[in-house]
Chain A
Amino acid sequence: MSSAAPQTPRLLSRGQLAVLGGLALVPLLDYLLPSVQLSAQMRTVVVFAILGLGLNIVVGWTGLLHLGIAAFMAIGAYAYGILTCEVYPFQVGFWPGILLAGAVGAIAGLLLGAPTLRLRGDYLAIVTLGFGEIVQDGIKNLELITKGTEGINPLPAPWVPGPVASAEPNAWQQLFEPITSETPVRWFFIYLAILAVVVYLARNLEFSRLGRQLFAVREDELAARCMAIEPDKAKLKAFAMGAALAAVAGALFASGLSSTGEPANYDFQVSILALCIVIVGGIGSITGVLVGAIVMVGLSNVVLPNLTQALQRSGIGSTGSVFASPDNYKYLIFGLALVLMMRYRPDGIVHSRKAVRK
């Protein structure tokens, strides 16, 4: 009799706490390596972790192959851009902007999902793939609204109430200053806090009635149906939640760049990257997705560019040789990593422990 099993799950699992805690230590490295500005670069990792968590709800928990998550990221980014940029009248500010972007993403998810989620497996993958291309082309061509390939800018950084900056802030004071590109630490912490909230929500979902319905639908749709679960509704909710999180990630991405950037920032590559984050990290596991984001995006956006710069500074890559810059080996490394993962650890770095959903 294993009645010792906890009745209510902890707020966050140990693994999740460890990863979030580890990320919270990143700004310390800024003092060790002042030239790198790691906490500014790690914002992207946090953004992609949120994107991965959104995709994980759809792919990992509901078992739907989604190849167009970047489209929802784009929708979120442009919603945030239109709602906050000063060239348009809305200017709702950072926090409402993020929330509204999430809502717009959820609505977009419902609109795409309602007519298409009855499709099986591969067909749904094709629909999402096509949707990704349509959104990108749509944004490119609606120039009056989205500024086409220019991107909407400038966009506001996060805003939090706090004391006004002193002229020469020390590290501690810096945490309480208005956010600009000069205060990357504080900016990073705000993103990290948002990630922590998303992790908390995702974990609650995992242990909720809806989460259980999603797992049941993934494991055996007919059996779930015979238990009076309506798979279409469950899938639609999962799809909308995934889209909402992707949109929030897009909004944070745009805010981080202070611009939506060009539509090509949200192309098929990004959808695949998100999928790799989920698969490499450990499909179905929240901790796994966090680890996946750190490994994949950390490698491509932090480690490799810095390595390239370091090599160039030291003179090795200064000839501009394409072979001497590790950045160019990004996809080679990704591909190799995927092949090795599939061979040696097909469940991902962090196994989603079978049946330990207590």
Chain B
Amino acid sequence: MSVPLISVERVTMRFGGLTAVKDVSVDVVPGSITAVIGPNGAGKTTLFNAITGVYEPTEGAVKVSGRDPRRQLSGAVIATSVAIGLATGLGLALLVRVETVWQAAVLDLYEFQKAFPWGTALKAFFATLFGGGFLGTWLPIVLGLALGTIGRLVIWSRTRRTPDVVASAGVARTFQNIRLFPELSLVENVVVGMDRRLTSGMLDGLLRLPHGVRERQASRAAALGILEFVGLADKAETAAGNLPYGHQRRLEIARALASKPDVILLDEPAAGMNPTETVDLMRLIKAIRDKGTTVVLIEHHMRVVMGISDRIAVLQYGEKIAEGTPEEIKNDPRCIEAYLGKEELG
């Protein structure tokens, strides 16, 4: 078997005294549709949040294509931290003695309407800035250096596995309680989803440089294509917030697909859909898989789950109680018990 696209390795999520997910391991095979099912409150969405970086697992790890999607401690991280620290230190030292420095480097040297001795001024500037002795110069520099470097490193360590890092690794998702950008048009919503593959920078946009203009056109055209794929192209320019519920779910899928992810996590995509919409959705999910994107979904509609899944994992009270093909799950006594309750004898 190839390397699992996502492997959840003994993940436990605790919130205070509550253990929402307990020692769960799931492997997602590339090119498959994997369903996570279970009664309400079983920890399915929590598991999704742990996978996508919304939560950091209390224990265990989540790997994407065999790697932990996490910002690595590189030379660049340390260099930026030290640079920020140095800048903070120098800034602090300057702030402490700003009037003395100003007096020595500008006021003492400048005579009205006479040429200003720039070289002397520069020398005076540094001489005064670094001439404050321990309290005036070195303490602020050391303090600032420590504060800036440590502060930057703390922020780095806290944002090592945020959702944007996981998303950049090729994991896209939708949300149980739809989270679109309601005031943006459908096209814009999808283009936001594409963001990780766009390259135009601030100046490209501000000055309308050719690269930015081209990329804008290309991304909007691609977005229209994706909208067409999910069947929403005719509403491309309306506000996402004005769409009916079922369409909003489709748009969320379109937005997630736009990043060309390796795997897409769908959190209850069929919730609130009528039977016709549900059938369309099943077709769509299969089409996504056939295009080469691996799908993981949480779902309560058993028809959907049994109809399209290659593998199913069953959660109950935060624990995985079964995993297998739809056939196996259908006949697993523990799953039947979890959903229907135990048969009373007598």
Flag whether A223 is at the interface (Cβ < 8 A): yes
Interface residues of B in 175-217 (CB under 8 A from A): 175, 179-185, 187-188, 191-193, 195-196, 198, 200-202, 204-208, 212-213, 215-217
Q: Cβ of A209 and Cβ of B175 under 8 Å apart?
A: no
Flag whether A226 is at the interface (Cβ < 8 A): yes
Flag whether B22 is at the interface (Cβ < 8 A): no
Q: Please tell me which one of the listed residues B98, B159, B205, B242 contacts residue A208 in the complex, with CB atoms under 8 A apart.
A: B205
Q: Cβ of A355 and Cβ of B185 under 8 Å apart?
A: yes
Q: Cβ of B212 and Cβ of A215 under 8 Å apart?
A: no
Q: Please tell me which one of the listed residues A111, A204, A354 contacts residue B239 in the complex, with CB atoms under 8 A apart.
A: A354
Q: Cβ of B184 and Cβ of A355 under 8 Å apart?
A: yes
Q: Please tell me which one of the listed residues B106, B175, B198, B205 contacts residue A211 in the complex, with CB atoms under 8 A apart.
A: B205
Q: Please tell me which one of the listed residues B173, B195, B215 contacts residue A229 in the complex, with CB atoms under 8 A apart.
A: B195
A153 to B238, CA, bound (A): 53
The chain A residue sitting closest to B193, CB to CB, is A227
Q: Please tell me which one of the listed residues B98, B116, B168, B240 contacts residue A228 in the complex, with CB atoms under 8 A apart.
A: B168
A-B contact count, CB below 8 Å?
153
Flag whether B130 is at the interface (Cβ < 8 A): no
Contacts of A213 in B (CB 8 A): 192, 195
Contacts of B316 in A (CB 8 A): none
Q: A220-B180, A222-B179, A356-B185 are in contact. Are A204 and B205 (CB under 8 A)?
A: yes
Flag whether A340 is at the interface (Cβ < 8 A): no
Q: Shortest beta-carbon distance, B179 to chain A, in Å? A: 4
Flag whether B164 is at the interface (Cβ < 8 A): yes
Cβ proximity bits A194-222 to B, threshold 8 Å, 1 near / 0 not: 00000001001101111111011001101
Q: A86-B112, A227-B255, A229-B195 are in contact. Are A215 and B184 (CB under 8 A)?
A: yes
Q: Please tell me which one of the listed residues B180, B181, B195 contacts residue A209 in the complex, with CB atoms under 8 A apart.
A: B195
Interface residues of B in 228-242 (CB under 8 A from A): 233-234, 236-242
Contacts of B146 in A (CB 8 A): none
Interface residues of A (CB under 8 A from B): 1-3, 5, 7-8, 86-89, 111, 115, 118, 142, 144-145, 201, 204-205, 207-213, 215-216, 219-220, 222-232, 237, 354-358
Q: Cβ of A227 and Cβ of B216 under 8 Å apart?
A: no
A209 to B212, CA, bound (A): 8
The chain B residue sitting closest to A226, CB to CB, is B163
Q: Shortest beta-carbon distance, A165 to chain B, in Å? A: 24
Q: Please tell me which one of the listed residues A5, A211, A215 contacts residue B181 in the complex, with CB atoms under 8 A apart.
A: A215
Q: Please tell me which one of the listed residues A2, A8, A212, A228 contacts residue B196 in the complex, with CB atoms under 8 A apart.
A: A228
The chain A residue sitting closest to B208, CB to CB, is A204
User: Which of B107, B208, B212, B217 lies at the interface centre, i.e. has the most chain A CB atoms within 10 A of its CB?
Assistant: B208
Q: A209-B212, A209-B215 are in contact. Are A89 and B121 (CB under 8 A)?
A: yes
Q: Cβ of B216 and Cβ of A355 under 8 Å apart?
A: no
The chain B residue sitting closest to A216, CB to CB, is B192
Contacts of A216 in B (CB 8 A): 181, 184, 192, 195
Interface residues of B (CB under 8 A from A): 52, 54, 91, 98-99, 102-103, 106-107, 109-110, 112-113, 116, 121, 151, 155, 159, 162-164, 167-168, 172-173, 175, 179-185, 187-188, 191-193, 195-196, 198, 200-202, 204-208, 212-213, 215-217, 220, 224, 233-234, 236-242, 255, 259
Q: Cβ of B198 and Cβ of A358 under 8 Å apart?
A: no
Nearest first, the 10 A-B pairs at minimum CB distance are: A208-B205, A355-B239, A228-B196, A89-B116, A219-B181, A228-B167, A223-B179, A225-B163, A355-B185, A89-B110
Contacts of B191 in A (CB 8 A): 212
Contacts of A201 in B (CB 8 A): 206-207
Q: Please tell me which one of the listed residues B113, B162, B237, B240 contacts residue A2 in the complex, with CB atoms under 8 A apart.
A: B237
Q: Shortest beta-carbon distance, B264 to chain A, in Å? A: 11
Contacts of A354 in B (CB 8 A): 183, 239, 241
Q: Cβ of B164 and Cβ of A230 under 8 Å apart?
A: yes
Q: A219-B181, A227-B192, A227-B193 are in contact. Are A209 and B237 (CB under 8 A)?
A: no
Contacts of A1 in B (CB 8 A): 233-234, 236
Q: Cβ of A222 and Cβ of B236 under 8 Å apart?
A: no
Contacts of A204 in B (CB 8 A): 205-208
A185 to B164, CA, bound (A): 51
Q: A1-B234, A201-B206, A355-B241 are in contact. Are A207 and B216 (CB under 8 A)?
A: yes
A251 to B99, CA, bound (A): 23
Q: A213-B192, A226-B163, A229-B195 are in contact. Are A115 and B181 (CB under 8 A)?
A: no
A220 to B237, CA, bound (A): 19
The chain B residue sitting closest to A213, CB to CB, is B195
* CB-defined A-B contacts under 8 Å, sample of 27: A2-B237, A89-B106, A89-B110, A89-B121, A115-B151, A144-B107, A145-B102, A207-B205, A208-B205, A209-B205, A209-B215, A212-B184, A215-B181, A216-B195, A223-B175, A225-B164, A226-B163, A228-B167, A228-B259, A229-B195, A354-B239, A354-B241, A355-B185, A355-B238, A355-B239, A357-B184, A358-B237
